[in-house]
Structure 1
Amino acid sequence: MTAFITQTFGSYIAEEALARVPSDVFDRSKLCLLDSLGCLFGGRQLPTAGMLRNLRGDSQVAPSSGGPVSGCAEPAAAAFVKATLINALDFDDIYEKGHPGATVIAAALSVAEHTKSSGTEFLAAVIIGYEVSCRVGISLAHVQPRKAIHGHGTWQIFGAAAAAARLMRLDAGRAAHAIAIAAANAPVASVMKTVYGDAPSMAKNNFGMAAQMGVLAARLAAAGYEGPLDVFEGETGFWRMAGADECRFDKLTKGLGDAYEILRVGFKPFSCCRLILSSVQASRDVIRMAGIDPADGLHAKLIVTAPPIVCEPPFCKVRPRDMWAAQFSAPHAIAMAVFGVEPGPDWFVDDWLHDEIAGRFQDSIELRPHTSHASPRGAHAASAWLQLRDGQIFERHVDVAEGEASNPMPKSALEGKFLRLASPVVGDSGACEAIDKVYALDKAGSTLCRPGGRTVGTPVPKAGRKHACYGHRANPMENSPCPALVEQRLWSTARDFQLADATSWSAVSHRHCHPTSLPVNSGSAAKAAVPVGIQFNPCIDVRLRERTKQISDHGLGPSMYLHRIDAKGETSSDSNPVLRFGLRSNSLPRRAARTGCRDT
């Protein structure tokens, strides 16, 4: 008798041998974890985190004989919180469809807290979760150009269930029932209302419920609860429940355990919907090519040719009023990128959502749909056409956006993304420690826990945080817990700070600034271009050695951090970075002036 698909999945979940997993798959799983953790830390900086904190607090559990960490939240509720926050910025990983990491990583972190799994066991669960989740996702085929029923959370529940089942060490039979229970309890495919309705809402992809129910499905299966093992088969199978037009059954199990879908996962350089990444990149690049300040109004026209869906609501929305609408607004994302705002929480602060100059720039963008044959390589390809008032014309076409699996983000840039998102939450040393832990997870004796029982995704209590005082006048390198962090902060992250002609460098602010001291001597050309009120410390010479060259080879430029200083000119010991200056060609001194820098 042929096994049901749930049973094939169950056998894979329970019996996948770690020795069979290629090293590049393990390496990719670490990057997936790093990216999702960064997005989780970024999400913790949003107001949404405060709402969800109460949910986590209401579900604390005591340790049992099985050894869960004392004081941990109930794993299903914890998975809801983590998945929601990972996806909150729309900065999380991308695949052929969906954001598989939000549900897989959230479930794995939450369950691992209770099972005290080793690092290798955790990574194996992550890989298995991605494989099951992604395969179900690509099996759901839509032959109509615009889907009437659509929802990634509906199928991403399987990644959460698979990861949880592996970490709970369920046998093949119990794991099969975990998948079946998940199918019967998957979230409704609601994206046509939660995103494409009157206005995008914080419910979005419903990943929180998908992760929560996936963990519950594994726990129910462990307790003996059963689901319909034939749930994928036939004309009434899961594909029909999920709103697909047909099911490509071969995608579900063909090559399972041999061909790894996790290798087709990419990472976003911008905090916006994947559909508009190419439009944002093309627009950012064409403004750079022109060498203009977008706040000056020197351009007469910016035409962005993009997939037809980008030219329709909610993607064509100009001047969105909240972060949920802004994540799906191509004009807003383009404005943030060309104005040099750091992707992440800063894109959605009220100051930028209601900024009149940025709003006027959005008004100047014209979105035009391209024809289906416009780009044979990239389904989301886009072009930007810029005309200046003096008649000059610049064009840029992007077939495959940065960050897609076929055009991957450099590892150094992914690490920089993590450091930017994590440092405000866990401090500089905590962010460095998290990277080291992630990369060492498959080493002998490695665990997910910090001293005291916290997993790498858990913030350090505020009183225990220590921030590196890179802005300290005497010797900002003296107390640095991680010298590599300086290199990351100066020379990593997004390509919106591209090295250009040194004589035209100037500073552009990304946060409201205070009287500050710039802790790096970047040369006289850069020094001369810095607005009044920004001071260079001439005693510091940061030598970036070979790593600088490697990062520069990717076209990345410097990014500088400023810290609060007190009346004596000293950096506060608990200060977070409050301002970042990116050095780039003809950037925006007006932005620095408009956001609070004072003459001295």
Structure 2
Amino acid sequence: MSLTRNLTKLIRSKPVSDKDLEWAALFVLDTLGCALGALKTEPARMLQAVAPPETSDVPRRAFYLGGLAHILEMDDLHRDSVTHPGSVVIPAAWTISEHRNLNGREFLKSVLAGYEAMCRVGNSVGKAHYRVWHNTSTCGPFGSAFAAADLLKLDEDQTVWALGNAGTQSSGLWQFLATGAMSKHLHTARGAESGILAAQLAAEGFTGPEEILEGEKGFYAGLCTDPVPENVLANPDADWQLIRTSIKPWPCCRHTHPAIDAAIDLHRQLGNREIASVSVGAYQAALDVCDRPVPNDRYSAKFSLQHTVAIALAEGKVIQASFDADARERVAEIRDKVAVSLSEPINNAYPKSWGSEVSLTTTSGSTLSEVRSEAKGDPGNPVSAGEVEAKARLQLAEAGLSDRRIDALVDAILDLPNNYPVLDLDLLSDISINEKTRVARSA
């Protein structure tokens, strides 16, 4: 029996508790906060021009929402698979649910299932895959396809076909990092869209390869040099993968977060003493993506261990403005003192643990150091429900949404476990969310 068929059976046999649905609603709030919070950005304008949400079909609307969700670099991260499942799975599930007027619990169950499929495939690709391929983009279509298959009520065979045709659409290369190109947003956009198309085709009887993962000319053969296929089905009785997913407190690459967490603590200890040198020990994947001594723009600064550590040490916080030109200039002197290198203990623990070692020497000769194995927002060091809501509210306010609209949107999402309907976001409409809320609640 193929991996995708067994995966389908595994996911559909997992029990769902009310607590699981409450967790899923928090991740929906986080993802939509990231997406709507990006509405005023230039990449959002470009996505809207190509995929205007008010006239697009369901797959292309998911494309738009998936692209939006990844712009701010604040979307969630599943450490074991090194994927951002929320920005792929939730746009796909939301757009189908709003189109079909589905209820909250049905929607949230599909989110759990989509995370499970995407993350379990991601768990199996091996470390080498990430050096060239963006796991979120290659594994994402499996997640969006499974969420869509659940919402479209596909049977087992149809779901296996959907997963097969999702996998044959897998793509997404890291080359964009060399110039700071915008392709990363395209990765989540296409991941969300591809899965819906695969499921819609399967619903019509359009077949897909059952052995898309393990086949002689399949996903592992083409994209993975050190796959671990058994991880797809490992620990079937474990918590949902969504529960093992991290929520980001800082608007930059997750690989920088353990070092930021440590550096913020060092900022508090440093006081008025001057820094002579800083060393950062990281795992290899963090160095591959985030060793950028002199970032020349906001985007590259978000992928710079040197800059993120410098700003955290200097200011004790990392916010969107921390990557602007004046912020980059402000901490240039400290950034030049930051040296990054491979830490064998940290690297050996990756990807189960995303850690960092940060130490500094002051001009007076004293030393300070901090080690992190769990960054803020990881399952072992989680953010609270209140912190997730506060993060979403801040992003929505920065995007210009009114307090009334923010209140209505937050309330509607957090009420999804109680079977509140999935609303049409009407991202560019003059109809406010709270107006639609009043109509839905009176129906």
Picking from 164, 168, 173, the partner of 1:180 is: 164
2:202 corresponds in structure 1 to 221
Q: Which residue of 1 aligns with 2:3?
A: 5
Q: Superposition RMSD on alpha carbons, in Å? A: 2.9
The structure whose RCO (Cα within 8 Å, separation 6+) is larger is: 2
Letter in 1 for 2:298: M
**Matching of residue 232 in structure 1 with residue 213 in structure 2:** yes
* Structure 1 match to 2:300: 325
What are the equivalent positions in structure 2 for 1:273-352 lying under 5 Å apart?
A: 273-292=253-272, 298-310=274-286, 312=287, 314-340=289-315, 343=318, 345-352=320-327
* Contact residue 359 and residue 369 of structure 2 kept, 8 A: yes
Greater CA drift, 112-121 or 364-373:
364-373
Change (3 A) 1:259 1:373: closer
Tell me the TM-score normalised to structure 2 length: 0.87
Structure 1 residues 186 and 436, CA gap change in structure 2 (3 angstroms): same
- C-alpha separation between the residues in 2 aligned to 1:278 and 1:259? 24
**SS of residue matched to 2:183:** coil
Pair 1:403-2:351 in alignment: no
Task: Tell whether the 8 Å contact from 2:22 to 2:417 is kept in structure 1 after alignment.
Answer: no
Instruction: Rate the CA distance shift 1:459–1:321 in 2: closer, same or farther, 3 A.
Output: same
Aligned to 2:68, which of 66, 85, 97?
85
Q: CA deviation at 1:313?
A: 5.7
Corresponding residue of 2:441 = none
Counterpart position of 1:592: none
Give the distance between the partners of 1:177 and 1:32, measured in 2 at CA.
28
Distance (Å, rounded) in 2 between the aligned partners of 1:440 and 1:393: 49
**Aligned counterpart, 1:544:** none
The question of whether the paired residues in 2 share the 8 Å contact of 1:46 and 1:345 is answered with no
Amino acid at match of 1:29: A
The aligned residue for residue 97 of structure 2 is 112
What TM-score do the two structures reach when normalised by structure 1?
0.65
State which of 164, 172, 183 in structure 2 corresponds to 1:203: 183
2:33 matches 1:46: no
Bigger CA drift: 390-399 or 206-215? 390-399
Deviates more, 1:318-327 or 1:254-263: 254-263
C-alpha deviation, 1:303, in angstroms: 2.5
Cα distance between partner residues in 2 of 1:382 and 1:373? 6
2:120 aligns with: 135
Gapped regions of structure 1 (runs ≥ 5) = 61-70, 467-600
Rounded Cα–Cα distance in structure 2 between residues aligned with 1:313 and 1:462: 44
Structure-1 residue corresponding to 2:229: 248
Counting aligned pairs with the same residue, the percent is 25
- Distance in 2 (CA, whole Å) between partners of 1:210 and 1:155 is 8
Name the SS of the counterpart of 1:305 in structure 2. Answer: strand
Mapped contact 1:89–1:344 kept (Cα < 8 A): no
Amino acid across the alignment from 1:332: H
Partner of 1:357: 330
CA contact (8 A) 1:200 1:314 kept: no
| SS in structure 1 of the partner of residue 360 of structure 2 | strand
Deviations 1:547-585 (A, max 9, x none): xxxxxxxxxxxxxxxxxxxxxxxxxxxxxxxxxxxxxxx
- Aligned partner of 2:259: which letter? S
Q: Which of 194, 199, 212 is the aligned partner of 2:176?
A: 194
Distance 1:276 1:364 in 2: 17
Cα distance in structure 2, aligned partners of 1:227 and 1:92: 30
How do residues 145-544 of structure 1 correspond to structure 2 at under 5 angstroms?
147=131, 149=133, 151-187=135-171, 189-191=172-174, 193-195=175-177, 198-204=178-184, 206-249=187-230, 251-254=231-234, 256=236, 259-292=239-272, 298-310=274-286, 312=287, 314-340=289-315, 343=318, 345-353=320-328, 356-372=329-345, 379-425=353-399, 426-444=401-419, 446-449=420-423, 454-455=424-425, 458-459=426-427, 461=429
CA contact (8 A) 1:427 1:465 kept: no
Q: Deviations over 1:91-135 (max 9, x none)?
A: 111111111111101111221221111111110110110111111
Output one character per residue of 1:287-315: Cα deviation in whole Å (capped at 9) or x when no partner: 111123xxxx83222232333554x4652
Number of residue pairs the alignment of both structures matches: 429
CA positional deviation for 1:10: 4.5
Structure 2 alignment gaps of length 5 or more: 435-443
Change (3 A) 1:423 1:141: same
- Residue 41 of structure 1 contacts residue 422 of structure 1 at CA under 8 Å; is this kept in 2? yes
Q: Which amino acid aligns with 2:345?
A: S
SS, match of residue 246 in structure 2: coil
CA, structure 1 residues 339+115, in 2 after alignment: closer, same or farther (shift >3 Å)?
Answer: farther
After TM superposition, give the deviation of residue 459 of structure 1 in Å: 4.0
- Residues 62-113 of structure 1: per-residue CA shift (max 9 Å, x gap): xxxxxxxxx4521111112222221122211111111111110111122122
Contact 2:25 2:417 in 1 (8 A): no
State the one-letter code of the partner of 1:175.
T
Query: Relative to structure 1, is the Cα distance of residues 335 and 42 closer, same or farther in structure 2, using a 3 angstrom cutoff?
Result: farther
Which one has a bigger Cα radius of gyration? 1
Q: Tell me, yes or no, if the aligned pair for 2:267 and 2:312 is still in contact at 8 Å.
A: no
Tell me the distance in 1 between the aligned counterparts of 2:94 and 2:150.
Answer: 12
**Using the alignment, how far apart are the partners of 2:245 and 2:112 within structure 1?**
11
Contact kept in structure 2, 1:199 and 1:314, CA below 8 Å: no
Could you say what secondary structure the match of 1:227 adopts?
Answer: coil
Shift of the 145–202 alpha-carbon distance from structure 1 to 2, 3 Å rule, reads: closer
Of 106, 111, 115, the match for 1:121: 106
Alignment-mate amino acid for residue 164 of structure 1: A
Distance 1:316 1:110, change over 3 A: same
Residue 116 of structure 1 aligns with an amino acid whose one-letter code is N
Shift in Å, 1:348: 3.7
